[in-house]
Amino acid sequence: MNKKGITLSINMVVILILAIVTLGIALGFITGYMQDLIDSMKGFPTIKIEPTSGDPISFIPSDIQRGKSNKMSIGFYNNEQDDVPNTVIPQITCQGISEVTVKASGLNIPVGSWERYSALVSVPKDTPSGPYSCTLTISQTEKTFFMEVK
């Protein structure tokens, strides 16, 4: 019996298993941080404080340039009764502004978890500068805040 051939085969199997495990870990790491990487390359701000069940909506920034598409990251923790389907996108309404446009892709958000929307927010070019009282709505959850229009 040729022991040298068996040893080579066992070594090859161990190396192959280690390579597969390493590849799996690398892919898990990459996919876990890929959205953050893509958004940072596109110029979307990173949310500093993650949303929680007590404060389910967090976002950055709240300053908007009128007449332009402004990049905004919106975090949403789903503490509602049902999953939020991908047909739901954030909506912003402000007192004194005729129309606030929010463009974002919908996300499936299961109950008890959170996701981040990468949104483009714009207000009309003729909107006067200043602070506005606004409400950000996602599904059945709302948050009131002040938005500075520049």
Indicate if 127 and 72 belong to the same structural domain. Answer: yes
Q: Would you tell me how many other CB atoms lie within 10 Å of the CB of residue 97?
A: 19
Q: What is the CATH number of the domain that holds 100?
A: 2.60.40.10
Indicate if 62 and 135 belong to the same structural domain. Answer: yes
Specify if 94 maps to a domain: yes
Pick the closest to residue 61 from 129, 149, 141 (CA basis). 149
Q: Is the pLDDT of residue 5 over 60?
A: no
List pLDDT tens digits, range 6-48.
Answer: 666 888 888 889 999 998 888 877 766 666 656 555 667 778 8
DSSP summary character for residue 55: S
Q: How many domains does the chain have?
A: 2
Indicate if 71 and 145 belong to the same structural domain. Answer: yes
Confidence of residue 60 (pLDDT cuts 50, 70, 90): confident
List pLDDT tens digits, range 85-106.
Answer: 888 889 999 998 888 888 888 8
Burial readout 57-93 (b: 16 or more C-beta within 10 A, e: otherwise)? bbbbeeebebeeebbbbbbbbbeeeeebeeebbbebe
Indicate if 61 and 96 belong to the same structural domain. Answer: yes
Domain span holding position 5? 1-42
Indicate if 68 and 123 belong to the same structural domain. Answer: yes
pLDDT-above-70 percentage for the chain: 86
What confidence score (pLDDT) does residue 19 get? Answer: 92
Indicate if 20 and 66 belong to the same structural domain. Answer: no
Confidence of residue 52 (pLDDT cuts 50, 70, 90): confident
What confidence score (pLDDT) does residue 106 get? Answer: 84
Indicate if 22 and 72 belong to the same structural domain. Answer: no
What confidence score (pLDDT) does residue 34 get? Answer: 63
> CA–CA separation, 55 vs 33, rounded Å?
23
Specify if 49 maps to a domain: no
What confidence score (pLDDT) does residue 13 get? Answer: 84
Distances (CA, A) of 103 to 10, 76, 108, 119: 55, 16, 16, 5
